[in-house]
A and B are shown apart, each in its own frame.
Chain A
């Protein structure tokens, strides 16, 4: 039973500028705080003992889900899994990210936890990263000295590790429009434990030339819980490019995905499940293009 957390000073800034300046001032000693579903657990486990907590929930700039006329979806740092899953601002083509959000934790966790928090914790078993990898999401990182946008495939560096500096805030996720004739899906299954952590998660986006010939123009596959960090199945993506997406090709692609996954524990089973889930995900993503 985990109960207590260390003493700290609590700040609840009301502007992004204020949050960034606090972060710069207490560099390395402060922890950004939104939903708290990961931060407080890490504090209870004494994995982190921040001297300052910067609660960003009162920063209005970090709210909101917007879809631009150019087809880009923007998700603010404070958007919870629940808010995203029920949002009417999310076009149907991005449904797979709703599926990934609904795979996170329990109702109580989804009511508080944010998608950006899920990314920042950088658990290898997180559910939204595989979907965001397949969607080729960009991440906007802002600090007192400037801002940069990185692709999510360049963000994770290891288990619970990423490139975010201790002066930076991940302010928003930017998901580019999908090409015509694209379909995506997120499939997962979980360990049967009290927290139902994801054992294998597969996010897939496939785009075809046209619906008749089903020639793969582009495929992006994100894998979760089968490597030290969420990963893109790049070899599988390269294999699929230009091929007709029939059952045989999809079966071969699933084999390649299993081979390029890097699970450590329960490796044999996880690889087998990568194969099963990748095959299902590719077939179902294709069906979604057909509508």
Chain B
């Protein structure tokens, strides 16, 4: 029962050809094989959103995705947001507004926000709340997170 699977996947703009075990999770592939440790493991059951990545434009919990099934997909992790040393407006705004406390939820929170703003550049507060409802912040800093997302949306509109 040792059938390795070959996959081709684009992560943060780079193409990878990889050999994975059937029971490898996307989260483990990112963290352990590729060293992309910005994606976090917390609950492991799809409740907290710390492992959120964007797959073909949609957020997914990478702890509940098999590496074997990402063949042909485009994946964005938090490491893929800055370009040429420049932070993404969301990353900037999270820092400016103090929306980061312990930081563990931040990568997932930012990717859920990015997926929202990519589709809806000018969201209402209600739409922002729904978009990040699958990302839990145990420091309870939601107000500042909301403010940071609003501020990033304004920056990106300019």
- B44 A107 Cβ-Cβ under 8 A: no
Q: Which residues of B contact A (CB under 8 A)?
A: 1-3, 5, 21-23, 25, 41-49, 52, 58-61, 63-66, 68-69, 112, 115, 130-131, 133-136
- Closest B residue to A51 by beta carbon equals B1
**Given A4-B23, A40-B63, 15 new contacts (CB under 8 A):** A2-B43, A3-B41, A3-B44, A7-B23, A8-B22, A8-B23, A10-B3, A10-B22, A40-B25, A40-B46, A40-B66, A53-B66, A105-B46, A108-B112, A195-B47
Could you tell me how many residues of chain A have their Cβ less than 8 Å away from some Cβ of chain B?
A: 31
Distance to closest chain B CB from A60 (angstroms): 15
CB neighbours of A6 from chain B (8 A): 23
A54 to chain B, nearest CB (A): 12
State the main secondary structure of chain A at its contact with B. loop
Whole-angstrom distance between the Cβ of A198 and the nearest chain B Cβ: 15
Contact B49 A5 (CB under 8 A): no
CB within 8 A of B59: which of A4, A111, A195? A111
- Determine how close the nearest CB of chain A comes to the CB of B7; give it in whole angstroms: 11
Of B23, B25, B43, B65, chain A has the most CB atoms within 10 Å of the CB of B23
When chains A and B are docked, how far (Å) is the Cα of A195 from the Cα of B59?
17
- How far, in angstroms, from A148 to B96 measured CA to CA in the complex? 59
| Chain B residue at smallest Cβ distance from A193 | B47
Closest to A57 in B: B69
Determine if A108 and B60 form an interchain contact, defined as CB atoms under 8 angstroms apart: yes
> Which A232-266 residues sit within 8 Å CB-CB of chain B?
none
What distance in Å separates the Cβ of A163 from its nearest Cβ neighbour in chain B?
A: 27
